[in-house]
Chain A
Amino acid sequence: MPLGAKLAGVLAVGILPWVAASVWPLALVTAALAGVVVAARLPARRLLRSMRGLLPVLVVLLAFQWWSHDLAYAVRVVVGIVNAFVAAGILTATTPVTDLLDGVVRAARPLRRVVDPEVVALTLGVVVRSVPWVAGSFSSVRESARARGLDRDPRAVVVPTVVHVVAFARSTGEALAARGLTDPGDDAPGPGRSGSARPG
Chain B
Amino acid sequence: MTEVRLDGATVSVPVDGSPDRRTRRILGPVDLVLTQRRVTVIGANGSGKSTLLRLLNGLVSPTAGAVTVDGLDTVRDGTRVRRHVAFAFTDPISQLVMPTGREDVELSLRRVHRSRSDRRAAAEQVLERFGLTHLADQSVYDLSGGERQLMALAVVLATDPDLLVLDEPTTLLDRRNTLRLRALLEALPQTVVLATHDLDLAAASERTLVVDEGRIVFDGDPAAAVERYVRLVDEP
Q: Is B103 part of the contact surface with A, judged by Cβ < 8 Å?
A: yes
Q: Is A54 part of the contact surface with B, judged by Cβ < 8 Å?
A: no
Interface positions of B from 78 to 107, Cβ below 8 Å from A: 78-79, 82-83, 86-87, 89, 91, 94-95, 97-99, 103, 106-107
Q: Given A126-B97, A180-B79, A184-B79 in contact, is the A196-B58 Cβ separation under 8 Å?
A: yes
* In contact, A175 and B89 (Cβ under 8 angstroms): yes
* In contact, A199 and B58 (Cβ under 8 angstroms): no
* In contact, B78 and A97 (Cβ under 8 angstroms): no
Would you call the interface of chain A mostly helix, strand, loop, or mixed?
Answer: helix
Q: Given A175-B94, A175-B97, A184-B79 in contact, is the A199-B108 Cβ separation under 8 Å?
A: no
Min CB–CB distance A199 → chain B (angstroms):
5
* In contact, A195 and B78 (Cβ under 8 angstroms): yes
Residues of B within 8 A of A174 (CB): 59, 89, 94
Contact with A along B147-178 (1 / 0, CB 8 A): 00000000110000000000000000000000
Min CB–CB distance A44 → chain B (angstroms):
18
Q: Is B61 part of the contact surface with A, judged by Cβ < 8 Å?
A: yes
* In contact, A98 and B107 (Cβ under 8 angstroms): yes
Residues of A within 8 A of B76 (CB): 194
Contact with B along A142-168 (1 / 0, CB 8 A): 000000000000000000000000001
* In contact, B61 and A199 (Cβ under 8 angstroms): yes
Interface positions of A from 107 to 155, Cβ below 8 Å from B: 118, 122, 125-126, 128-129, 132, 136
Q: Given A98-B107, A196-B58 in contact, is the A178-B82 Cβ separation under 8 Å?
A: yes
Q: Is B194 part of the contact surface with A, judged by Cβ < 8 Å?
A: no
Give the distance in Å from the alpha carbon of A184 to the alpha carbon of B91 in the complex. 26
Q: Given A96-B103, A178-B89, A199-B13 in contact, is the A192-B98 Cβ separation under 8 Å?
A: no
Give the distance in Å from the alpha carbon of A179 to the alpha carbon of B106 in the complex. 13
Q: Is A56 part of the contact surface with B, judged by Cβ < 8 Å?
A: no
Give the distance in Å from the alpha carbon of A103 to the alpha carbon of B110 in the complex. 13
Residues of A within 8 A of B87 (CB): 178-179
Residue of A nearest to B140 (CB): A129
Q: Is A4 part of the contact surface with B, judged by Cβ < 8 Å?
A: no
Among A98, A99, A179, A198, point to the contact of B82 (Cβ < 8 A): A179
Min CB–CB distance B138 → chain A (angstroms):
13
Q: Is B129 part of the contact surface with A, judged by Cβ < 8 Å?
A: no
Among B26, B57, B94, B110, point to the contact of A199 (Cβ < 8 A): B26
Give the distance in Å from the alpha carbon of A9 to the alpha carbon of B42 in the complex. 55
* In contact, B99 and A200 (Cβ under 8 angstroms): no
Q: Supply 17 A–B pairs (Cβ within 8 Å), ascending by A.
A: A98-B103, A98-B116, A102-B116, A118-B110, A122-B107, A177-B59, A178-B89, A179-B155, A181-B107, A195-B79, A196-B78, A197-B58, A199-B13, A199-B54, A199-B60, A199-B61, A200-B50
* Chain B contact residues, CB within 8 Å of chain A: 11-13, 26, 50-51, 54, 57-61, 63, 74-76, 78-79, 82-83, 86-87, 89, 91, 94-95, 97-99, 103, 106-108, 110-111, 116, 119, 141, 155-156
